[in-house]
Amino acid sequence: MVGEFVNLEIADGIGVIRLDRPPMNALNAQVQEELRAAAHAATNDADVYAVIVYGGPKVFAAGADIKEMADMTYAQMAVRAGALSSAFDAVARIPKPVVAAITGYALGGGCELALACDWRVVGSDAKLGQPEIKLGIIPGAGGTQRLPRLVGPARAKDIILTGRMVDAAEALAIGLADRVVEPEKVFDEALALVSQYVRGPVQAIRAAKLAIDGGLDNDLASGLAWESQLFAGLFATEDKTEGMTAFVEKRKPGFEGR
């Protein structure tokens, strides 16, 4: 899948959703829709086992396109806001492991895009944050919802209400980053993180991600019922048969994703 600013490149079972809108990968409406298309393509391509979201060696994404939004009215944004949120949600709903490879800045919408991924590999000189409050608005693509679920409500309020930037060391300490490496090693580290899922039990990985994400949005009893349903469903898959047979026969399983 090739867009003007967002591409999906596939190699060795890994899909790379690459942002390429110099100089700062500003997330205008076109980029948002191309992100949605790339997420759907990665979801539906059986050759993609895991996904890396990457903005390039210098910057992940420095936020929304403020020039595009500056003159928008309430009526215009009321129409656009849902599409903005759902474009990022399309990334969150990819039923495969997804990692954000973050270099430079991941601010505003860029931070929200990173939050939509399962993990964040961050360059040691990177800066993350939700500076929308300094523009007289709030995060509108998941920041007020995903950030507190990740780092807790008190830390999320500090970051969002001040609009301050979080460096890599703090991001790692509070759980906003999962790994911090030298900037030039960010992509390779992200690749190493998700390569372990290539040729894995696709249906089980999908079910595990659905169970965790769905459970977080429900009370414990509902989450346990959802888990039981997904667990039982895997007993209809060929991978379950192969995995258990391989265990009994003391050999490595050969999963086919069915």
Q: How many CB atoms lie within 10 A of CB 21?
A: 20
As given in the structure block, the two tokens for residue 57 are: 């060696």
Tell me whether residue 132 is one of the annotated catalytic residues: yes
Rounded-to-5 percentages of helix, strand, coil across the chain:
50, 15, 30
Structure-derived torsion over alpha carbons of residues 79, 81, 86, 92, reported in degrees to the nearest 10: 180
Length of the chain: 258
> What is the spatial distance between Cα 95 and Cα 86, in angstroms, rounded to a whole number?
15
Q: Which listed residue (4, 112, 189, 238) is catalytic?
A: 112
147 and 159 in contact (C-beta within 8 Å)? Answer: yes
The owner of tokens 């928008």 is 72
Q: Which listed residue (9, 34, 132, 238) is catalytic?
A: 132
Question: What is the Cα gyration radius of the chain?
Answer: 19
Q: How many CB atoms lie within 10 A of CB 214?
A: 15
Q: Which of 62, 143, 131 is nearest to 103 (CA)?
A: 62
Q: Could you give the residue numbers annotated as active site?
A: 112, 132
